[in-house]
Amino acid sequence: MGLASGVEITSSGPTSIEKASGQSVKLDCQFNLDAVDSGPLDIEWSLISNDNQKEDKVVILYAGDRSYDDYFAQMKGRVHFNSADPKNGDASINLTGLKSVDSGTYQCKVKKAPGIRSRRMLLIVMVKPSKPRCYAEGPTQEGKDIVLRCKSNEGTNPLQYSWDKTSGGKLLPSSAVLDPVGGTVNVRNASAGASGSYRCIASNRVGSEECTLYLNVTPPPNTAGIIAGAIIAVLLFLIIIAIILFCCCRARHRKKYEKEICNEIREDVPPPKSRASTARSFTVGSQRSSLGSMSPSNLHEYALKPQYDKIPSDEYERPPSSIPLPPPTATRMAGPNLSRMGGIPVMIPAQNRDGSIV
């Protein structure tokens, strides 16, 4: 046992250290050698694995009067011995640019045959809170419940949140309920006096950050006016739709009526006469016109000719609607009486409305 107790580690500092990410830390490991220790000096720092089935990771090594600091790639360039010559009794190391993954249990082992001693230290690398975000949740109106929220996305737990008012009375409203873990403030039945600037502070054991928020509590809106306006807008919309539909129906009816008028056949217009009927009418009209130039002496002879009786009558060619009315009746005088009076009997042909001789 005397051989085993030749080397002594004299460090008596804390075995647990908390640091913030980005900072530096010194892991202390001071030792004394004994005269009986005659072998070579070896110093080894390792990161103890939490799993017993996995090997420990060597972080830095001193052997044969030489330092080796490139064993652990995760800490390459960030770890080195505190002393340029560790054999003088200072096996402490410095870690720079700490990261959260650097957290763990570190072991300092000093060996000088036949003596060997070791010391363990717990390093906790904490991340300080990131700048939180402050916002109001829910309608910020009088008589409503308003929730002020504060949230930090980064930071090692446990995180603590605190709220205070930086304007006015600098006191939270009497109806406010604070949740320091969730980072909320519930202002129940908010009033206009709750308006103002608020500050939230997120903190843990290694740092803190804060954010500010301005809360403006407004009067409730005029619900009746909004409903009335909505009803008027709907009615106007329906009236416009009705006017458009009426105009479309009227235009469509007008087009349909014009189309029917164009295709309508008028019944009061007689159909046109054929060519044969026109030729006959022309011949009869010519013959009848010639009777007007005959004298009473040859009129009798012309009347005895059979061709006069063959003149066709227009009454068979005209439609019933165009049959001429009978000529007005006049007082007839017998032939003997007309002769005594010295008159000469003359036959006057009758005429229709269109001027043709009957």
Segment 325-339, tens digit of pLDDT = 555 554 555 555 656
Answer whether residue 71 shows pLDDT above 90: no
Q: Is the dihedral of CA 236, 242, 243, 244 positive or negative?
A: positive
Q: pLDDT band at residue 169, thresholds of 50, 70 and 90?
A: confident
What integer pLDDT is reported at residue 326 of this predicted model? 55
Q: Cα(324)–Cα(311) distance, rounded to whole angstroms?
A: 17
Answer whether residue 224 shows pLDDT above 60: yes
Q: Cα(102)–Cα(72) distance, rounded to whole angstroms?
A: 11
What integer pLDDT is reported at residue 36 of this predicted model? 78
Q: Counting beta carbons within 10 angstroms of the beta carbon of residue 219, is it exposed (0 to 12), middle (13 to 18) or buried (19 or more)? A: exposed
Residues 166, 198 contacting (CB under 8 angstroms): yes
The average pLDDT across 124-130 equals 92
Give the residue, 64 or 313, on which the prediction is more confident: 64
Q: pLDDT band at residue 281, thresholds of 50, 70 and 90?
A: very low
Q: Counting beta carbons within 10 angstroms of the beta carbon of residue 156, is it exposed (0 to 12), middle (13 to 18) or buried (19 or more)? A: buried
Query: What is the pLDDT of the chain when averaged over all its residues?
Result: 79
Q: pLDDT band at residue 293, thresholds of 50, 70 and 90?
A: very low
Give the residue, 38 or 23, on which the prediction is more confident: 23
Q: Are strands 66-68 and 57-63 parallel, antiparallel or unpaired?
A: antiparallel
Q: pLDDT band at residue 54, thresholds of 50, 70 and 90?
A: confident
| Secondary structure (3-state) at 157 | coil
What integer pLDDT is reported at residue 64 of this predicted model? 86
List the end-to-end C-alpha distance of the chain, in Å, as a whole number: 172
Q: Are strands 16-20 and 115-126 parallel, antiparallel or unpaired?
A: parallel
Q: Indicate left, alpha or beta for 22 from its phi (over 0: left) and psi (-120 to 50: alpha).
A: left
Predicted model pTM? 0.51
- pLDDT tens-digit profile of 19-28? 989 999 999 9
From residue 58, alpha-carbon distances to 15, 74, 79, 283, 335 in Å are 19, 11, 12, 143, 168
Percent of the chain with pLDDT over 70: 70
Of 199, 97, 208, the C-alpha closest to 154 is 208
- CA 44 from chain centre, in angstroms, equals 63
What integer pLDDT is reported at residue 13 of this predicted model? 84
What's the token pair of residue 166?
């930086």
The average pLDDT across 281-288 equals 44
Q: Cα(222)–Cα(104) distance, rounded to whole angstroms?
A: 62
Stated as kind and residue range, the H or E segment containing 338 is helix 335-340
Q: pLDDT band at residue 138, thresholds of 50, 70 and 90?
A: confident
What integer pLDDT is reported at residue 308 of this predicted model? 42
What integer pLDDT is reported at residue 333 of this predicted model? 57
